Amino acid sequence: MSNYIQFIPKELLRDIVTRVAAFSLTDYINVKLSCKMLKEVAENSCVEVHIDETDDFINRCLENGNSDALYRLGMVQYFGHDNLDMALKYLNKSGSLDHVGAYYVICIILIYSGDNFMKEGVNFLSTMKLSREYRKRVKFYREHLIRILGLISINNSTVLRRRPICCTKNHKLVTRYALVGVEDDEEDYVFCDACTCDIEMAYIFAVLPPL
């Protein structure tokens, strides 16, 4: 997409994105996540003044069951803007509509937060991965998060500077399912819940800038 967009004058792009932002925050989020060039245009101060990131938007999403818009905005707020409060506000609202992706990102945030928050994240994420159905959905949203991280500028200092470790016991990673012959695309779950989360976090670490 960016190969074509680069030939459009930035002033015209800014005008187009401003009109999008004025009428639909959902479409504005999708514009920001489509490519890095449009993200730069969308984050121009002249554009952002037209955005209504208010409780009214959240209420409209809840009324319309639009959990995905809340989930995407929560990701951008946490990883792109380093705004934990707003991220959790959107993600919790998305989670109230049973959005598994929101649950997943909340787990990642809890693990990054450390201490008792990390324990909550480990318990939540490992519980999700006990179910075969949820393991597949976790895999889907992990891959989605990785794609998003490749499109946005990561400005969260905690994410950039920390690589939290959930398990400190140096367990040998033996999967529960290796003995029963799971399908090749099945996500492994190990005996130790914390090790399971370390494996999950390693996927995220792999796409972050090196420390």
Q: Is 65 left (phi over 0), alpha (psi -120 to 50) or beta?
A: left
pLDDT in tens, 51-62: 555 556 667 777
Once rounded to an integer, what is the mean pLDDT over residues 28-56? 62
Q: Which of 12, 34, 52 is the last residue of a domain?
A: 52
pLDDT in tens, 93-150: 999 999 999 999 999 999 999 989 999 999 999 999 888 888 899 999 999 999 888 8
**Inside any domain, residue 210:** no
**Co-location of 27 and 80 in the same domain:** no
CB-CB contact of 102 with 71 (8 Å)? yes
**Co-location of 95 and 116 in the same domain:** yes
**Co-location of 171 and 78 in the same domain:** yes
Q: Token pair 């016991």 is at which residue?
A: 169
Q: What is the rounded CA–CA span in Å between residue 83 and residue 89?
A: 10
DSSP label at 65? Answer: T
**Inside any domain, residue 10:** yes
Looking at the structure of the chain, the number of domains it has is 2
Mean of per-residue pLDDT scores for the chain: 79
The helix/strand/coil state of 187 is: coil
**Co-location of 97 and 73 in the same domain:** yes
Cβ-based neighbours of 157, under 8 Å, separated by 6 or more: 82
Q: Is 197 left (phi over 0), alpha (psi -120 to 50) or beta?
A: alpha
**Co-location of 41 and 91 in the same domain:** no
**Co-location of 32 and 84 in the same domain:** no
**Co-location of 101 and 24 in the same domain:** no
Q: 70, 21, 69, 78: which is closest to 48 by C-alpha? A: 21
**Co-location of 177 and 165 in the same domain:** yes
> Which range marks the domain in which residue 106 is found?
56-205
**Co-location of 75 and 24 in the same domain:** no
User: How far from the centroid of its chain's Cα atoms is residue 57's Cα?
Assistant: 20
**Co-location of 12 and 79 in the same domain:** no
Residue 182 has pLDDT above 50, yes or no: no
